[in-house]
Amino acid sequence: MVNTKVKLCGIEIDNPVIPASGTFGFGYEFAEIYDINKLGTFSFKGTTKDPRFGNPTPRIAETPMGMLNSVGLQNPGVDKVIAEELPKLAKVFNKPVMANVSGFSIDDYAYTCERIDKEAQVGWIEVNISCPNVHGGGMSFGTDAKNAAAVTKAVKAVTTKPIIIKLTPNVTDIAEIARAVESEGADGVSLINTLSGMRISLAKKKPILKNVTGGLSGPCVFPVALRCVWQVYNAVKIPIVGMGGVSSAEDVIEMMLAGATAVEVGAANLIDPYACKKIIDDFAQVMEKYHINSLEEIIGGAH
């Protein structure tokens, strides 16, 4: 019998598989097709202080082995998330959930995190300082070590739950940003958010995305994500949630060998809503094949 349990920032989860924010709604939508209590946890739709309609369409473009999105943090706002979405989730999910929070100023981040922190079902808060699709917020905090540290400090001052800072790969040195947030008390980091990219329509001779650029995700980014997890594991002591192009139990194990304690699955959920369930179901067979008894024991094992 293999052991898939891991401890993420002091909270034990049944397995390290976490559907990534923006690919799993508020969870209850997926509970209609399978029991989502099978998951380690999941990261819910990125939430901001105010409701957001998101960017104009088209905001999705295909590319070989991946996709570009420029959604622009569409969400109902923190009031509605607390009043309507979390009560619906509580009816179908009996585990701690990961809240995902975005902002356009340090005060925004602090306000939303403080509100979400009070929700009983929230186990961790993933603070997204890496959205490439908005102006005047998101990634502008994650590409500068001082700004990343300042958001972390402000959020830590008003919260009690573990804070996981979500990092962007669109930087020269992701390890520097990880060290900066660790120094201000981050309990963990998650990485990578999407890579900034674009496509041009040959028929229209114009960018496909209305926003011109978007975030690249899917299997094509997996080697980049793995390299970032490897580098950050060498730089910090706090746990890493790895993500980027993960679509199989083998990918999860590879990410853990690079240094991830848990692993988020994103674009794969958009191709197959059962993707995370299948990964979890495959663990026993894949772990046996590679002579792994316990997932916790392999974290960072390739170093």
Smaller CB distance to ligand SIN: residue 123 or 142? Answer: 142
The reply to whether 16 sits near ligand SIN by the rule CB under 6 A is no
Nearest residue to ligand SIN by CB is 131
Query: What type of residue sits at position 243?
Result: M
Could you tell me which stretch among 84-92, 114-122, 126-134, 272-280 binds ligand SIN (CB under 6 A)?
126-134
Positions in 76-115 near ligand SIN (CB under 6 A): none
Which residue of 128, 170, 231, 261 would you call a contact of ligand SIN, by CB under 6 A? 128
Question: Which of these is catalytic: 9, 113, 131, 220?
Answer: 131
State in angstroms the smallest separation of the CB of 205 from ligand SIN: 25
Tell me the CA distances in angstroms from 75 to 42, 53, 164, 167, 226, one per residue in order: 17, 7, 20, 20, 29
Q: Where does residue 10 rank: exposed (0-12), middle (13-18), buried (19+ CB within 10 A)?
A: exposed
Size of the site for ligand SIN (CB under 6 A): 14
Which residue of 215, 219, 242, 266 would you call a contact of ligand SIN, by CB under 6 A? 215
Calculate Rg over the CA atoms of the chain: 18
State in angstroms the smallest separation of the CB of 2 from ligand SIN: 33
State in angstroms the smallest separation of the CB of 243 from ligand SIN: 11
State in angstroms the smallest separation of the CB of 55 from ligand SIN: 7
Token pair of 187, please?
Answer: 């309990």
Tell me the CA distances in angstroms from 11 to 15, 101, 300, one per residue in order: 12, 20, 19
What lies within 8 Å, CB to CB, of 98 at 6+ separation is 18, 21, 41, 42, 43, 44, 122, 123, 124, 125, 126, 164
Which residue of 16, 19, 22, 66 would you call a contact of ligand SIN, by CB under 6 A? 22
Smaller CB distance to ligand SIN: residue 46 or 244? Answer: 46
Smaller CB distance to ligand SIN: residue 52 or 277? Answer: 52
Smaller CB distance to ligand SIN: residue 218 or 292? Answer: 218
Is 152 strand, coil or helix? helix
The reply to whether 226 sits near ligand SIN by the rule CB under 6 A is no
Q: Which of 48, 21, 228, 44 is nearest to 136 (CA)?
A: 48
Positions in 178-207 near ligand SIN (CB under 6 A): 193-194
The reply to whether 71 sits near ligand SIN by the rule CB under 6 A is yes
In this structure, are residues 178 and 167 in contact, taking their beta carbons and an 8 Å threshold? yes
131 is an active site residue: yes
Smaller CB distance to ligand SIN: residue 27 or 215? Answer: 215
Tell me the CA distances in angstroms from 25 to 18, 82, 233, one per residue in order: 13, 14, 29
Q: Which of 22, 16, 18, 20 is nearest to 4 (CA)?
A: 16
The reply to whether 72 sits near ligand SIN by the rule CB under 6 A is yes
Q: Which of 71, 75, 74, 77 is nearest to 49 (CA)?
A: 77
Active-site annotation, residues? 131
Query: Which residues here bind ligand SIN, judged by CB under 6 A?
Result: 22, 46, 69-73, 128, 130-131, 133, 193-194, 215
